[in-house]
Every structure is written in C-alpha cells, then in structure tokens.
Amino acid sequence: MARRRQEIALQAEIETQEEWNEAINKDGLTVVDVYQQWAGPFVDIYQAYGGPCKAMEPKFRTIKNTLGDAILNFAIAKADTIDSLEKHRGRCEPCFLFYASGVLVDAVIGANAPELQRKIMLNLEEEKRILKEGGERREFIFQQIDQDEDEEVDPRLQRHRSSSVANAITSQQYTLAVIRPDAYADGKVDEIVETITQNGFKILVQEEHHLNEHDARELHRYKMNQEGYEEHIARMTSGPSVVLLLQKTDAKASTVDDLRELVNSDELLKTNVDYTPSTDNIHDELMLLLPHIARRPRTPEENLERTLAIIRPSALKLYKDAIIDRIRDSGFEVTRTLEIQLTRQQVEEFYASKKNEPYYEDIIQEMTSGPSLALYLTKKDAIQGFHALLGPAEKNKIKEATGTFRHDFDIVDAKINSLHAPRTRAEANRHLQFFFPEERILVILKPNLSDQQRSEIVATFKKAGFFIMTRKMEKLTSEQVAQLQQSHQGKDYYNELLNYMTSGPSELFVLVKENASQSWQQLVGPDDPAKAVESAPTSLRALYGKDLVHNAIDVSMDVEQAKNDIHLIFGDLDREEA
C-alpha cells in the first residue's frame, strides 16, 4: 500500500516496529489509529460503513488547533507489519490506542467521534498533570470476560458470574433476550437456549423473572402503538419468563443486531423470544431485569465517608501531634483542619442538645478555656470507625478502656473527655457544616450514560475537590422532573426533555465543597454542549453531552435552589433517622 504522508499530514504513518517504538515513546499523548492493509486505515473503514471519507482527520485537526498542544500527537499504524499490533490483526472494528510515554493508557474501539474527543481531552489533561507533578501512569487493560472457546460452563453457575459481567458490560458486545412465559410453560427453554448458543452466542446469565404489568410495559414500550400490544402485555405477565444476558464477540456489527437477525430468521425464536431493540436500550433493560448486575457493588472508594474530630483545649496543649499521627496511622485522611477559640455562644449553639445534661457547664468551661482543633476526616465507614476508636465518653469508664484515644490521651484533672466525634451521619453533616461551611448541590447524571462514562465523571468530581455526600440510582417521575426542570418549562424542547429524563434511571448525587456553585459552573460548562465545546472544551458537557436535551449532566441553578432539589430527592440529610 502506498504511503500517504502528504495526504494525512497531521498523522505520522507507522509501518515498522522501529517506527512504532519511536512513536509511542514520545513525551506527551499519542493517539494511534490502528489499521490493516486489506481494509486501509480508519478513514477507509469509516467510508465502508457509510460515513464520509477521512471523517476523523478534520476532527483531530480541530482538536489539535483548538488546544494548540505540542504534546498531543496523532499517528496511523499498520497492524500487518508491526509485531506489537499482532493481536489487532483480523479485526474489522476501528481501533484507536492512546499512548503516554510508552504506556497504553486508554483505547476506543469502534467509530465513535464524540467518545474519541472526550478520551483525548481527559487523557491529555491527565498526562499534563503527570508531566508537571509526577506520578504513575495507569496502564489500560483490554478486559476479556469470555471463557476459552473449549471451556464448558455449567448453566446452573451462570447466575453466580454477575460481578465479573457487571464490570464489563458494553453496548456493542452484549444484549438481552427474554423467553416468554408460554414457552417456559411448554418446556421449550432448553431448545431455545440450544438454538441461540449454536449460532455463536454465549449465555453469561440465565435467570427466571416474573414480570409485573409495570415492568412489562416498560420493557415493551416501543411496541405500544403496534397491533396486539395489550394482548402481548397480558401474555408476558401470565407467568415466569427466562432472562438471558448474551455475548457474541464476533458479531458483524453488534450482538444486539446479530440476535435480532437470528430471531427474525428462526420460527422457534420468533414466536417465543423478545430481544433488546437497540444498543441504546441495554442499560435500562439491565436495570429493569437484572438490577443486581446493573447496580454493581460499590467499591471502598465509593463508600467513603466523612466525619469530624475535635481535640479539646486541654488535650490540644499536650497531645496535638500525637493525636493527629494516631488518626492518620488508623487509616483516616485529614483533609482539613481548623484551630479555633470558641466563644460561649458558639459552644452553646454546638452543644445545644446537651443543655439538660449534668455535665453541660463542664463542656462550656472546657471548650472556652483555649483553642480547640477541628479535623475534617475521610475514610470508608469513617463515622462508626472513628467513634469506635475513641472509647467511652464517660470519665469513670475511660480508665478501663485501654488502647482507645480517650484513654491514651486522657487529661486526668479534666472533668470531660479529651476528644469529640459525631455518632451518626446526620450529626456528622451538622457538625462539619459548623466548622467547615460548605455548599451543597444536586447533580444528576442523565439516563443512558455508560458505566464507564459515569465512573469518569465521578472521578472528575473528586479531582475537582467535591465530596460525595450521598448518591443513588433512581428513575425520576414526571412530577420530580417538573420540579427539577422549572427553568426549562415553556421551552420548545421541554416535552422532549421530560420524556428523556423519565425514560430510564438517572444517578443522583449531593456534592459538597466550599463555594461549590462557583466551581461547579466552571466544571460542567454551558447547557448546550455545542457552546461548551467552543468556550469550555474540557468541561463535562463538552466531553459527554450531545445536544441541549441529551447534555449528560444537570445541576441545581444555585445554592438556594439546590436546597429544594436535594430535599425533593433525598429528604432532610441533617435530620436523624427515626
């Protein structure tokens, strides 16, 4: 194949192992389009898929010109003649590899221009940080969840493989099928499963599921205007169905398309099996039919809690450094500190719940006798974890509680213990707000974002200094959307927005930070992703949004509005549970 150095001036062309080694070991970020001679590089494949020729080159050039970054490089590499790319031979999907100083840090498989732009922005920002501050680059691993071709899997064990499947679900490689109740009742499940597997599909999960009317209508909402819809809903709720999570790694386009083609060409399947109509539906159907897979267990990082510790004045004079070192050695991160001389009025406000206790005046006297030190702590299960380390609050019990903070740092002559910490999450929220005032905002990750996109957005929250106070996955009602989207009511796109926001589950967060509303607006960007790309190309809406309705993320307009929004979704976060 003739070289095209002049034709693709932006992209260096790589055809030998030596050129490959040199290209990927450059300083900065190098984005490599991997191709094969029989197909040509991605520009030709894209044309074969029906898109315009050289579709990505203008996008790459725009990104390069917009960012003006000398450390961003583009290349095309021929897999046929480069040993390092052997595993990419024989694949028809476009493949883009991201290298930073010799380390593979990311990849995009498939013709997805918005995803490429987003990954370029994210990885370039991370590489700049590493070059400036130092640090280790995370190597990207192509995850495989398939068994070896010859490996037999006991169908009874399929349901126990949920955790590994949940971490690898992608819209291109997986689909869902539902064997209808009448087929289940007639004993046709084994025959149907055999037909599906004989056509190259692997069954990752097989479970019984009895649909209620609501779930059946949600699952088949795309059929609601078709003849026989009500009769079909009645059949689907008449008894248990069998849900299959399927994978076909050699699918021509996607597993969804291949299953649809198979079902429509086989009479047994056509009369007994429903299937996912589009790759856009997979996440919502997983949430509906296999929620234990869609809602994967939280990692320790996601379960991170925050709490407050107060070193009282007498202990602060003697044990300040020792206490802080002990806290850190116990696995807590001390994210902020405040040394403060409290007035009597402040102490009375903080300890208002103790006003009728016999030791109330002793607290007032100790806490106003000198400066105290407030510590903002974070760790998994921080509230209960730190409270357990403190030991008993009563002075007459501290002597026996060897090994606890209150024992080891006790002030014998003091009438109260040396340290304070909240017992509950609501109490921790109130106490932290007293010493470290923060703004709270409600953030909504809209339906149909992939798990990977959600994870990347959450990582951006944390990198910007936001703490996740609480979070949950929930399908919003029309009434909730109407209250959350008041500023959009009356706009010509509002009905489309309402339908979209109620089409599937959203992930909702309460984020906290000093001056959260100011820094959030910079992080999220303008409502319209097209404007965000121009004015804030690294903002979240520029990276993840598609249009004004499908702009990936919604956020409270201001702090006062956020109070109402948070109460609507999460209730009173500062109120103790009954």
pLDDT exceeds 80 at position 372:
yes
Residues 430 and 443 in one domain: no
Mean of all residue pLDDT scores within the chain: 81
* 500-539 residue pLDDT tens: 898 888 899 999 988 887 778 788 989 899 998 888 888 8
Stated pTM of the model: 0.53
Residue 307 has pLDDT above 90, yes or no: yes
Domain check: are 308 and 431 in the same one?
yes
Question: Is the domain of 442 the same as that of 556?
Answer: yes
pLDDT(145) > 50:
no
First to last CA, the chain: 73
Residues 266 and 185 in one domain: yes
Task: Tell me whether residue 146 is in a domain.
Answer: no
Going 224 to 228 to 234 to 235, the CA torsion angle's sign is negative
pLDDT given for residue 8 in this prediction: 43
Judge whether 256 lies within some domain. yes
- Comparing CA positions, the residue from 165, 210, 209, 56 lying closest to residue 120 is 56
Identify the top-confidence range among 218-222, 275-279, 426-430: 426-430
Average pLDDT over residues 442-458: 86
* Tokens encoding 379: 């760790």
The per-residue b/e assignment along 508-535, b for 16 or more CB within 10 angstroms, e otherwise, is bbbbbbeebbebbbebbbbbbbeebbee
Strands 439-445 and 553-555: antiparallel
Helical (H) or strand (E) element with 382: helix 382-390
**pLDDT value, residue 334:** 93
How large is the C-alpha radius of gyration of the chain? 29
Residues 54-59: contacts with CB under 8 Å, at least 24 apart? 54/8, 55/111, 55/113, 56/113, 56/116, 57/8, 57/10, 57/11, 59/113, 59/116, 59/117
77 — pLDDT class (breaks 50, 70, 90): confident
Average pLDDT (143-161) is 38
Task: Look at residue 536 in the predicted model and tell me its pLDDT.
Answer: 86
**Domain stop point among 244, 262, 294:** 294
Q: What does the DSSP 8-state code read for residue 482?
A: H
Residues 444 and 560 in one domain: yes
Of the pLDDT bands very low, low, confident and very high (cuts 50, 70, 90), residue 402 is: confident
Q: Is there a domain that residue 71 lies in?
A: yes
Give domain status of residue 388, yes or no.
Answer: yes
Residue percentage of the chain with pLDDT more than 90: 29
Do residues 39 and 80 make contact, with C-beta atoms less than 8 angstroms apart?
Answer: no
Mean pLDDT across 252-278? 87
Range of the domain at 541: 438-570
| Residues 34 and 110 sit within 8 Å (Cβ to Cβ) | no
Do 424 and 466 share a structural domain? no
Q: Which amino acid is at 472?
A: K
402 found inside a domain:
yes
Q: CA 32 to CA 13: how far, in whole Å? A: 9
Same-domain check for residues 311 and 286: no
- pLDDT value of residue 299: 47
Q: Is 424 found in the same domain as 320?
A: yes
Predicted pLDDT of residue 9: 60
Q: Give the pLDDT confidence score for residue 135 in this predicted structure.
A: 75
Per DSSP (E only), the strands in 415-475 are 419-420, 439-445, 467-474
Residue 343: pLDDT band with limits 50, 70, 90? very high
Is the pLDDT at 165 greater than 50? The verdict is no
Q: Round to whole Å and give the CA distance between 371 and 373.
A: 7
Cα–Cα distances (Å) from 450 to 246, 294, 314, 445, 446, in that order, read: 18, 11, 52, 10, 10
pLDDT of residue 34: 85
Check whether residue 506 and residue 492 sit in a common domain.
yes
Q: Are 446 and 557 in contact (CB under 8 A)?
A: no
- Whether 420 sits among the annotated catalytic residues: the reply is yes
Q: What pLDDT is recorded for position 148?
A: 39
Domain boundary among 435, 452, 480: 435
What is the domain-level CATH number for residue 80?
A: 3.40.30.10
Question: Residue range 349-357: average pLDDT?
Answer: 91
Assigned domain for 480 exists: yes
Co-location of 367 and 462 in the same domain: no
pLDDT grade for 149, boundaries at 50, 70 and 90? very low
- pLDDT over 50 at 158, yes or no: no
Given 133, 149, 177, the domain boundary residue is: 133
| 128 and 219, same domain (yes or no) | no
Residue 292: predicted pLDDT: 58
In a domain, 76, yes or no: yes
Q: Which of 220, 283, 407, 420 is the catalytic position?
A: 420
H helices of 159-281, in order, are 162-166, 181-185, 189-198, 213-219, 229-236, 255-265, 267-272
The single-letter DSSP state of residue 557 is S
Is pLDDT at 211 greater than 80 in this prediction?
yes
Distance CA 511, CA 18 (A): 48
Q: Which residues contact 466 (CB under 8 A, 6 or more apart)?
A: 511, 512, 513, 516, 520
Q: In terms of pLDDT, which residue wins out, 540 or 122?
A: 540
Residue with tokens 């400036």, as numbered in its chain: 132
Q: DSSP class of residue 517? A: H
φ, ψ of residue 174 to 5 degrees: the values are -135, 155
What is the count of structural domains for the chain?
A: 4
Is residue 140 in a domain?
no
- Could you tell me if 422 and 445 lie in one domain? no
Supply 386's token pair. Answer: 């730190």
Higher pLDDT, 223 or 54: 223
CA atoms within 13 A on the CB side of 562: 22
The confidence score (pLDDT) of residue 300 equals: 45
User: Looking at residues 451-473, what average pLDDT do you find?
Assistant: 86
Residue 47 has pLDDT above 80, yes or no: no
Q: What is the pLDDT at residue 447?
A: 87
- Predicted local confidence at residue 7, as pLDDT: 42
Identify the bridge partners of residue 96 per DSSP, sorted by sequence position: 33, 108
Q: Determine the pLDDT at residue 294.
A: 54
CATH number at residue 280: 3.30.70.141
Q: What percent of the chain has pLDDT over 70?
A: 82
CB atoms inside a 10 Å sphere around CB 275: 19
